[in-house]
Structure 1
């Protein structure tokens, strides 16, 4: 086997693990909501936890972002972009609800 084919197999295995985790973290909340045997608070907690874990899975397995020195700049860029988008969304909602209250 050549080193290139070993690298390719390793990458494919990495993507398949990420896909399996993402699929599991998607189907678990859907199944929980569809069955409905658990209370609302517990369901929302499980959905929120699965969403946060799925963000980490996507960062790690698909975007290849980890805490290594060379990838840290990419992580900072993504976190800063997320912060700017959150500020814009929250500011927009604040303005809209403030205007709705004044109507």
Structure 2
């Protein structure tokens, strides 16, 4: 057995609690502040990127890998696919092509 399967998963619990804090911070910004729409969107987007990075490190064990080059390539590929999907969806919804 390796060290990750022993004991209480404290790092996962910490990551989960921190993810909840970021989610509720975004909820608070969206519902309880009188900021402009653009400011709210930028703050929520920033919190989302922070939460995605947190989850990569805490839950997907990005820092624990033996082959960090392959993990980096996989992460970059995933980001590329996400950007292409979002940009393509916006293009189709905006221009109808």
Q: What is the aligned counterpart of 1:43 among 29, 37, 40?
A: 40
Q: Which 4+ runs in 1 deviate beyond 6 A?
A: none
Aligned pairs for 1:62-73 within 5 A? 62-66=59-63, 70-73=67-70
In the alignment, what sits opposite 2:15?
Answer: 18
1:61 to 58, 62, 79: 58
With normalisation by structure 2, the TM-score equals 0.73
Task: Provide TM-score, normalisation by structure 1.
Answer: 0.70
Shift of 1:59: 0.1
Unaligned 5+ runs, structure 2: none
How many residues align? The count is: 96
CA RMSD of superposed structures (Å): 3.0
Aligned pair in 2 of structure 1 residues 95, 39: CA closer, same or farther (>3 Å)?
closer
Please show how residues 75-94 of structure 1 align to structure 2 within 5 Å.
Answer: 75-94=72-91
Distance 2:52 2:93 in 1: 29
> Unaligned stretches of 5+ in structure 1?
none
Higher gyration radius (CA): 1
